[in-house]
Amino acid sequence: MASMRDIKRRKSSIQSTQQITKAMKLVSTVKFQKAKVKAETTRPYFDKMYETVSSILSRSGNIHHRYLMQGESQKKAVIVITSNRGLAGGYNSNILKLVQSEIAGKDAVVLPIGKKALDYFRSKQIPTFTEQYAEAAELTVGDCFSVSKQVSKAFLAGEFDQIVVAYTNFVSVLAQTPAAMQLLPLEKPEKKE
């Protein structure tokens, strides 16, 4: 039987743990709100840029550029964006399932961004283009330019016939859907009047 002193000590320990947990919850809520605002403010910019490029391509006529033509290598490159840690519900597993279905039965290489992607593809023995950007939290805008230069150069050199980015599309707090978008070759939409 526990003494009264042990019970009081246990009670104060539980209360201090509850305070720490509450503080962690508040910090994570603030971080999430900041990330949500960033995601929502950058989406209109992306949508407008994508619409502009599609509009230019649809009105351009017969342009013969390497970025518009399928390569001959039959090798696909997939840029995979995941988190560095687990405990994110289906966030990582959904995107990894999507990528696995994208590359199933194909000659493919992945460029993992996030430790979960790197660990997953290492365990499946799927070749990686580079492991330089595996730490997603430390990725900068300069790193994004570096990634785009590396994969574009490889595409122009004929190493890949297609480059795809796989990411999680933020719909709402309760819904994030995995998505894959072809980056190269650029898809020329139907001509608009």
Is pTM beyond 0.95? Reply is no
**Structure tokens of 102?**
């994208």
pLDDT in tens, the chain (193 residues): 678 888 889 999 999 999 999 999 999 889 888 888 887 888 899 889 988 988 888 887 777 878 888 777 889 999 999 988 877 778 888 999 999 998 988 899 999 998 999 999 999 999 999 888 888 778 888 888 999 999 999 998 989 999 999 998 877 777 889 999 998 888 877 665 5
pLDDT digits (tens, 9 = 90+) for 97-144: 999 998 988 899 999 998 999 999 999 999 999 888 888 778 888 888
> How many CB atoms lie under 10 A from the CB of residue 163?
23
CB 115, CB 134: distance < 8 Å:
yes
Residues 6+ apart with CB under 8 A from 128: 109, 110, 111, 112, 118, 121, 122
